[in-house]
Amino acid sequence: MKIIANRMELLAAAQDALTVAPDKSPLDVLECTYLATEDGKLTVAANNLETSLERRIPVTIEEDGATIIMAKLLVDVLQKLSGDSVTIEQKDGRRVEITGGDAFFGFPTLDAKSYPRPEIPYPGDTVTVKGISAMAKRTVFAAAEGSDKPTMGCVHLIFDANGLRAVSSDSFRIAAAKGDPKSTGAVDMLIPAASLARLARLTGNKDEFQVGITGKTVVFMKEDFIFSARLVEGSYFDERQMFAMAKSRFVVLTDTDSLRKAMTSVYAVVGNQFRFSLSFQADRLRMTCESEYGSSSAEVPILSLSGNPSGVFWYNPEMLLECLRAQNGTLMLKVTQSNALLMESDELTCMQAAVREPKPIERDVPKPVEEKKEEKPKTDKPKGAKKKKTAKVAKAA
């Protein structure tokens, strides 16, 4: 293989591959970036057996072929080289040489035939999906981390007659996001939240894909880009049924941005106590936080829609703030009969369970300073006094 590539374009593709390739793996090839000439372009790929990425970039091909290079080494070399273009040449299938500007790098390589490639679904078995990255940002935060139940660490993607939606939960809260209404179907899947978050980082807002399933893998494809993720087997709860069962005490409206800013300022003193409450009144919502660092509070206006907004309710502030960061626009707040808080906007519905009122903050009261008693000065006995007394007693005996 011998190709001439734009250095910055190849560097960008190599950096994306580096985010997928593992630092250490029992399989040496997985620590590498795969390079191959295909259909007049260069495929830059990485795989960690959980997710895989393939990008294609335009290059000048002087000789077709494939090679693999340590992922971190490839990025380091491309960053150190100068000039607009680089030449990559494989020699005898055992050595790769990279040239750019006045510099030259050469190192041994492994057999590219051993590199695992993702299976690609037939175009007829795929659906067009838009807005995956936005849905990922609205749901991955609520998936459980380090759970002994693999399904709880996933985002549930559902394609039905009403379009696409995504659901995640860590058993303390639920996040349900609405997706592309045109992405209809009759299939659902469980994707690890970390894999979906990686896809969102790689694509940004340019994320119209053809999505299909091959075996136990879901594949997201668009021009010159392929991303696959391992699916998790198992069942997931019906979030719509849970929301329907949540009977509300009262319902109010507020502005998401105002509520988020107010809570962010209150959260500044949260400390380790997590003593945080929401106090509802007829037209005001007051947030109060207290910790070993002090206390803070803020208010935002609300508009009552039903019921009588009143009472003090306790929640985990860290989780609540994550939910608010994923919301936008006008926000409907519902406090349920179980004191759970339901936050609903046009694109996302979050439900967070209430907590018991935490213990009051224990302040360290300084102990009173005890007055020191005056010590009597010690008088030094003259040297030899004890010896003289002993001598007198001996003489008297």
pLDDT for the residue 25: 87
Query: Mean pLDDT of residues grouped by 10 in the chain (397 residues)?
Result: 96 96 91 95 96 97 94 95 93 88 87 90 87 90 88 93 93 93 88 94 83 93 94 93 93 96 91 86 93 90 95 94 94 96 95 91 61 58 50 41
Q: What is the pLDDT of residue 391?
A: 43
> What CA–CA distance (Å, rounded) separates 143 from 319?
11
The enclosing H or E element of 62 equals strand 60-63
Q: Which long-range contacts (CB under 8 A, 24 or more apart) does 342-348 make?
A: 342/243, 342/246, 342/248, 345/256, 346/178, 347/134, 347/138, 347/177, 347/178, 348/138, 348/175, 348/176, 348/177, 348/178
Note the pLDDT of residue 184: 84
Identify the pLDDT of residue 152. Answer: 94
Among the four given CATH numbers 3.20.20.70, 1.10.10.10, 3.10.150.10, 3.10.560.10, the one describing domain 246-352: 3.10.150.10
Q: At 253, list the tokens.
A: 């409206």
Give the bridge partners for 176, in sequence order. 167, 349
Query: Of 147, 127, 131, which is closest to residue 139 (Cα–Cα)?
Result: 131
CA distance linking residue 377 with residue 357, whole number of Å: 58
CA-CA distances (angstroms) from residue 25 to 13, 47, 54?
A: 21, 11, 19
Domains of the chain, residue spans: 2-114, 123-230, 246-352
pLDDT at 91: 85
CATH of 123-230, one of 3.10.450.50, 3.30.450.20, 3.90.78.10, 3.10.150.10: 3.10.150.10
Total residues belonging to the chain? 397
Distance CA(243)–CA(369), nearest Å, equals 58
DSSP-derived 3-state class of residue 389: helix
Q: Is 99 exposed, middle or buried (0-12, 13-18, 19+ CB in 10 A)?
A: middle
pLDDT (0 to 100) of residue 35: 96
Element (H, E) at 84: none
Per-residue tokens: 109: 């390589």
Q: What is the pLDDT of residue 330?
A: 96
CA–CA distance, 188 with 158 (Å, rounded to integer): 4
- State the architecture of 2-114 in CATH terms: Roll (3.10)
Q: Is residue 251 within 8 Å of 307, Cβ to Cβ?
A: yes
pTM of the prediction?
A: 0.83
20 vs 202: CA distance, rounded Å? 10
Hey, is 166 helix, strand or coil? strand
